[in-house]
Amino acid sequence: MEKKNIAVGLDIGTTKIVAMIGCYNEYGKMEVLGIGKAKSLGVHRGVVNNITQTIQSIQQAVEAAEISADMKITEVVVGIAGQHIRSLHHSDYITRKDGEEVIKEQDIETLCNQVHKLVMLPGEEIIHVLPQDFKVDGQPEIKEPIGMYGARLEANFHVVVGQVSSIRNIGRCVKSAGLELAGITLEPLASANAVLSQEEKEAGVALIDIGGGTTDLAIFKDGIIRHTAVIPFGGNVITEDIKEGCSIIEKQAEMLKIRFGSAWPGENKDNEIVSIPGLRGREPKEITLKNLSKIIHARVVEIIEQVYAEIKAYGHEDQKKKLIAGIVITGGGAQLNHLKQLVEYTTGMDTRIGYPNEHLAGNSDAETTSPMYATAVGLVLNSLEKVNKNQFKEELVAETSKNNVIEKENTMEDKGKELPRARKSFIDKWAEKFKDFLDNAE
């Protein structure tokens, strides 16, 4: 298998770090070649706070993935989240030199690059510039302006911003682990790619990714991303509450949450009790499952209410912005019993659990399709799309160049020699731009 058709996603989470290797099969579905997982020690609420420990965890996850896929990993696409992420809306326009020519992809690229030059607050950097809709010569609500005539091209953008230091720290960890950074993607965008169908994105949907340290939100409507947010709470605060409320150690609290936890207190009877072994010969502790779910319920409601406040801030109650497909919950936290019912009860919106099997090959094992791996699957998918797009562009440019050369040679031999040089410089320019983008992302 050719190296360029393989992509590696690295999900640096608060509780675990996942390295996933994938490629497209002959049916255009993603096949997982290898997966590696390590406990994340140096990350708190999606932000690196211990470089050395994070590097070690990355190396462990990557080694495990290399062994399971029997291949060497050189470059990875990394997911970024954390409480420093914020998003804003911005409108911008360009005036084209020649209104007689149709709008090309290059014009959209120029417009996006212009937005990248926006002045941010000190210490902040733009991660993503996502066009929402376009206006051509004042005509609004155009989704795809390529191929249209027009002198003035205008667009509304969803701009995702993060802290430079946090992005650099992640870049440094990846480099120090002996890997190349092929790109950075916002984690909620990656998860959305893995678990949402195109119909849901069109109808309007809110994706809630409940991780260990953060809960990520991505809202889609008419097939376009409309709102993103990162809430600095996740599954770990639930574990912390159980630990404090039941006076037990963290390991036991985590096990209780996974095995007996429920987001709905009414489900447990008063006489259901679980016994926890005491530390160093102390008496065992008896905990009622009703109390356990009360503790979990209180914290989960708090997380859901914060997410719902973001959904309201987007304008969900407005008829035009209504999210018909409701809510999709994914991430490790989505595995909590009765969470779906609680979300439906709190928000009044249709809810389902999101499994990352939307674009996966049919023979994928049950572990890969767990909501825990939604972000990793999404990162690999994003990277594969990018690789294919770049390959297609290069082939297109090469093909055009070849055809033009043959045409010119047939008519005017002298001028035919100049063309390949002009075409080549375009490829060079494009490759340099892409490399600059990656350098800046670090």
Per residue in 143-202, pLDDT (tens digit) is: 899 999 999 999 999 999 999 999 999 999 999 999 999 989 999 999 999 999 999 999
- Give domain status of residue 135, yes or no: no
Position 421 scores a pLDDT of 39
Residue 178 in domain: no
* pLDDT score of 434 more than 60: no
Task: Say if residue 323's pLDDT is above 60.
Answer: yes
Amino acid 406: pLDDT: 64
Total residue length of the chain: 442
pLDDT on residue 441: 53
* Residue 439 reports pLDDT greater than 90: no
Q: 34-88, pLDDT tens digit by residue?
A: 999 999 999 988 889 999 999 999 999 999 999 999 999 999 999 988 888 889 9
From residue 420, give the alpha-carbon distance in Å to each of 384, 395, 407. 29, 14, 12
pLDDT band, residue 433 (cuts 50/70/90): low
pLDDT at position 412 is: 52
> pLDDT-derived band of residue 403, with 50, 70 and 90 as boundaries?
confident
Give mean pLDDT, residues 117-135. Answer: 92
Extended strands (E) in 113-265: 124-136, 139-142, 152-163, 180-186, 205-210, 215-221, 224-231
In this predicted structure, the answer to whether residue 385 has a pLDDT above a threshold of 80 is yes
Domain that includes residue 229, residue range: 199-357
Which is higher by pLDDT, 276 or 397?
276
Tell me if 374 is assigned to some domain: no
Closest C-alpha to 261, from 298, 217, 216, 308 = 298
Residue from 337, 209, 329 nearest 264 by CA:
337
How many domains does one find in the chain? 1
Q: Average the pLDDT over 387-413 and give the result.
A: 68
Residue 141 pLDDT > 50, yes or no? yes
Q: What pLDDT band is residue 365 in, cutting at 50, 70 and 90?
A: confident
Mean pLDDT for the stretch of residues 411-438: 48
* Whole-number pLDDT of residue 405: 63
Q: What average pLDDT score do residues 363-368 get?
A: 82
Tokens 């609680």, residue? 342
pLDDT of residue 23: 93
Q: Which residues contact 53 (CB under 8 A, 6 or more apart)?
A: 41, 42
- Residue 231, pLDDT > 80, answer yes
Predicted confidence at residue 1, as pLDDT, reads: 39
205 falls within a domain: yes
Extract the tokens encoding 410. Answer: 């047939």
Would you place residue 424 in the very low, low, confident or very high pLDDT band (cuts 50, 70, 90)? very low
Per-residue pLDDT at 299 exceeds 70: yes
Q: Give the pLDDT score at 425.
A: 42
End-to-end CA distance of the chain: 29
**Residue 183 identity:** G
> Letter for the amino acid at 165?
S
Q: How many Cβ atoms sit within 10 Å of the Cβ of residue 150?
A: 20
Q: Is the pLDDT of residue 30 over 80?
A: yes
Range with the poorest average pLDDT among 136-150, 162-176, 300-314, 427-441: 427-441
Q: Which residues of 369-379 are buried (b: 16+ CB within 10 A; e: fewer)?
A: bbbbbbbbbbb
For residue 134, being part of any structural domain is answered with no
pLDDT of the residue at 422:
40
Residue 320 lies in a domain: yes
Q: What is the largest CA-CA distance in the chain?
A: 95
Q: What percent of the chain has pLDDT over 70?
A: 90
> What pLDDT is recorded for position 432?
56
The mean pLDDT value for 414-423 works out to: 42
* Cα four-point dihedral sign 44, 50, 55, 60: negative
Question: What CATH number is attached to the domain comprising 277?
Answer: 3.30.420.40
pLDDT higher than threshold 70 for residue 291: yes
pLDDT value of residue 407: 61
- Average pLDDT of 395-423? 58
